[in-house]
């Protein structure tokens, strides 16, 4: 059962973790509110915490609502799609061949069979993005794990609604958002270091910030770049 708190028309999603403190985030692009809370903290306490943060929550949601939103893609000739922060022009070939995506700046090429639906075309691009992130993350892990003195057990790439990445320190597992393939490469590197830092400090406390500052002094500017919504 998903635990939630209702604040007017806003639903706050509660995630219970083995942590000592409460953390609140408003996630792009829809402004979904999530609280990470200790396992046994009473919901009344969490409601009071969320109410105290209500003006800040509303301000963050208004900021996200004001950001430009790209129009839904139709996956047709001439559309603009983003790979690693760069815009690519999509070319579509309808032919009797194995469906696939290929890409080399400034062009992406989509091969599909005649009659392929928009949803099927979207799934092809999604899978291709996932492959791009998987390939790009391997050298980053080889670079950063020895530097930070940590070792992840697994890295899963999947579409995530409200996060760019997550870490389960007890299992040393990391998840990365497929959509990172649309961001500049520095953004993926920032998220990888951020999640590896959780293997040193599970919480987003002062120690975590000091770890990030020590290994990646520019992380704040790369985080700002990550949270910018690209224009199609």
Mean of the pLDDT values across residues 85-103? 93
Predicted local confidence at residue 232, as pLDDT: 46
Query: Has residue 175 got a pLDDT over 90?
Result: yes
- Name the residue with higher pLDDT: 28 or 41: 41
Q: Is the dihedral of CA 112, 116, 122, 123 positive or negative?
A: negative
- Name the residue with higher pLDDT: 157 or 224: 157
DSSP string, 169-203: TTTTEEEEEGGGGGS-HHHHHHHHHHHHHTTT-SS
Percent with pLDDT over 70 in the chain? 96
Predicted local confidence at residue 229, as pLDDT: 54
Query: Has residue 230 got a pLDDT over 80?
Result: no
Residue-wise pLDDT for 123-151, tens only, equals 999 999 999 999 999 999 999 999 999 99
Q: Where are the alpha helices (DSSP H) in 29-117?
A: 43-52, 54-66
Q: How many CA atoms lie within 13 A of 175 on its CB side?
A: 12
Q: Where are the domains of the chain?
A: 3-66, 80-226
Query: Has residue 28 got a pLDDT over 80?
Result: no
- Name the residue with higher pLDDT: 72 or 223: 223
Whole-number average pLDDT of the chain: 91
Mean of the pLDDT values across residues 90-98? 93
Phi, psi of 98 (to 5 degrees): -70, 125
Distance in Å from the first CA to the final CA of the chain: 37
Query: Has residue 32 got a pLDDT over 90?
Result: no
Strand order in the sheet with 86-94: 80-83, 86-94, 107-112, 100-104
Of 49, 53, 51, 11, which is closest to residue 2 (Cα–Cα)?
A: 11
Query: Has residue 29 got a pLDDT over 90?
Result: no
The CATH superfamily assigned to 80-226 is: Metalloproteases ("zincins"), catalytic domain (3.30.2010.10)
Predicted local confidence at residue 231, as pLDDT: 44
Tell me how far apart the alpha carbons of residues 227 and 221 are, in angstroms, rounded to a whole number: 10
Predicted local confidence at residue 15, as pLDDT: 86
């Amino acid at each position: 059962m998903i635990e939630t708190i209702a604040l007017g028309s806003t639903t706050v999603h509660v995630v219970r973790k083995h942590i000592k403190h409460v953390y609140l985030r408003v996630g792009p692009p829809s402004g979904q509110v999530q609280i990470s809370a200790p396992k046994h903290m009473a919901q009344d306490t969490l409601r009071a915490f969320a109410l105290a943060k209500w003006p800040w929550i509303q301000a963050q949601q208004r900021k996200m609502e004001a950001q430009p939103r790209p129009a839904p893609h139709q996956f047709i000739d001439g559309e603009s799609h983003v790979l690693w922060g760069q815009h690519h022009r999509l070319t579509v070939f309808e032919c009797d061949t194995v469906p696939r995506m290929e890409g080399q700046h400034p062009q992406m090429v989509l091969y599909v069979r005649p009659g392929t639906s928009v949803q099927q075309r979207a799934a092809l691009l999604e899978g291709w993005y996932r492959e791009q992130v998987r390939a790009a993350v391997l050298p980053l892990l080889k670079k950063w794990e020895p530097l930070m003195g940590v070792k992840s057990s697994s890295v899963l790439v999947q579409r995530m609604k409200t996060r760019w990445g997550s870490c389960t320190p007890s299992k040393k597992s990391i998840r990365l958002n497929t959509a990172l393939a649309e961001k500049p490469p520095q953004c993926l590197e920032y998220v990888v270091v951020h999640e590896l830092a959780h293997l040193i400090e599970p919480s987003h406390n002062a120690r975590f910030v000091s770890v990030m500052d020590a290994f990646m002094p520019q992380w704040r500017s790369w985080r700002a770049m990550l949270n910018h919504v690209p224009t199609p």
